[in-house]
Amino acid sequence: MTEIIAAIIGAVGGIIAALVPDISPKAKRISGIFVVAVLGCLCIFLLGWGIYSFIQKHPILSPAPEVSLRETISAGTNYTVGLRKNGTVVAVGNNNSGQCDVSKWQNIVSISAGGSHTVGLHKDGTVVAVGNNSYGQCDVKDWSGIVAVSVGGSHTVGLRKDGTVVAVGNNDGGQCNVTGWGNVVSISAKDECTVGLLSDGKAVVAGKIGLSTSRTIQNLSTWRNLVAVSAGDWHTVGLCSDGTVVAVGSNTRGQCNVSRWRNIVAVSAGFLYTVGLCEDGTVVAVGDNTRNQNNVSGWRDIIAVSAGYNHTVGLRSDGVATAVGDNKYGQCDVSDWTDIQLP
């Protein structure tokens, strides 16, 4: 490099000498150094200006929050399910259909609680289910290659590793019509609705979003830059890559009033209310609060949330669970859960 610079200086000095014959060798060299320095500064300026102009036209976006496919704490209708670090599962609350009979499960990596049935995903991609099976929503024993599961009121949805989706159970609202889906990266089911997040950041929906109309479904289809979706009983929520949140569906209790939320890293839609997890570990909520299910403002160090029917569950970074809301069936009695798997 030194030889190249010396050669350039010599060449510039030679040009100056040709233009000014009487210049001394020392002055010629100094002039060459000066010209090279000026040209170098000009090049640096032009390079910097080019980089600045490129960034102005192509802004560098903040990285999207990482959203885990694995659910380790899940609030259902009047019951709660948790996945322990050792792969076993614990449940509390209403067990009228056997939805809490999960004590014998092992090697589970993800769970989902619904209306009255519970589904678990094994490490090997197979699925197990307990609880109400009146619509065949627990008929998942033949599933394989599954990477995520989600259950609604009376249907079960599974995401295959190839990005396709399977579903069983009640299909009165068309919530199981997912056979044509592809390039799906996450799923969410609730009541009579199934929502899928596509790899391009868009969303697809099957079934009904509450008393949904074609306009509601159309509004959801316009969503862009999504990193997560959550189906509620009467509304659906989407998390955008910039930490903002969008919502469609019924807003009778203000459950869709999420437009001012910022720095959100996870969302969960319950029955007439919505919960959001902030990047600083705090939690926000809007919508129905008749059972104190939105009283989460004091929560800290939370890394996962799940909104149920009338109760909300949170998971702290130390693996301890917490819950607020209706506790008629003991669904909030999770204070002794101290070894829940982190998502």
Domain ranges for the chain: 2-57, 73-325
The Cα 276–Cα 278 span in angstroms is: 6
What b/e readout covers 299-334, taking b as 16+ CB neighbours within 10 angstroms? beebbbbbbbbbbbbbbbeebbbbbbbbbebebbeb
What pLDDT score does 177 carry?
Answer: 97
Extract the residue ranges of the chain whose pLDDT is less than 70.
Answer: 1-68, 211-218
The Cα 258–Cα 274 span in angstroms is: 8
**DSSP letter (8 states) at residue 84:** B
What b/e readout covers 56-67, taking b as 16+ CB neighbours within 10 angstroms? eeeeeeeebbeb
What pLDDT score does 55 carry?
Answer: 46
Please check whether residue 75 is in contact with residue 66, taking contact to mean a CB–CB distance below 8 angstroms: no
Backbone angles phi, psi at 224, to 5 degrees: -135, 160
Structure tokens at 65: 């929050």
**Dihedral angle, C-alpha 307, 309, 312, 318, nearest 10 °:** -70
CATH 2.130.10.30 is held by the domain 73-325: yes
What pLDDT score does 61 carry?
Answer: 37
What pLDDT score does 221 carry?
Answer: 86
Sign, Cα dihedral of 150, 156, 157, 160: positive
What pLDDT score does 208 carry?
Answer: 87
